[in-house]
Amino acid sequence: MVLLDTLRASRRLREVGFDEEQAGAIVATLTEDVGDQIATTADIRRLEEKMDHMEERLDQRMTIRMGVTATAATSVLLAAIGIATGFLATT
C-alpha cells in the first residue's frame, strides 16, 4: 500500500480553494481507491529480484542447451569424419 501524506494533501487542496469537507473526500478517495493500485518502492524491488532470479535461470538453461547442441554437433562431425575415413580407406 502506498503511504500518502494526507495532511499535506488536504492542506494543498484547501490552499487552492477546496473546503475542508471536499479536501477530505478527495484525499480519502485517493488513499482508498488509487493507493492500492500504485507500486511502492518495495513492490518494485521485489519485482526486480524476481526478474534477476528468472534471468539467472534462463542463463543456466541456455548454457546447458548450448552445451548439448555443441556436443551433438561434435558427435555428428566425428561420425561423418569416421564414415568418410572408412569410405576412403576401402577405395
DSSP string, 61-74: HHHHHHHHHHHHHH
- Identify the burial level of 5 via C-beta atoms within 10 angstroms of its C-beta, where 0-12 means exposed, 13-18 middle and 19 or more buried: exposed
Residue 23 CB coordination number (10 Å): 20
Q: Sorting pLDDT into bands at 50, 70 and 90, what band is 61?
A: very high
pLDDT at 88 exceeding the cut of 80: no
Is-above-0.85 flag for pTM?
no
Select from 23, 2, 22 the least CA-distant residue to 11. 23
Angle between helices 6-15 and 20-29 (to 10 degrees): 140
Q: What span, in angstroms and rounded, lies between the C-alpha atoms of 42 and 1?
A: 10
pLDDT at 38: 76
pLDDT at 5: 84
pLDDT at 3: 61
pLDDT at 71 exceeding the cut of 60: yes
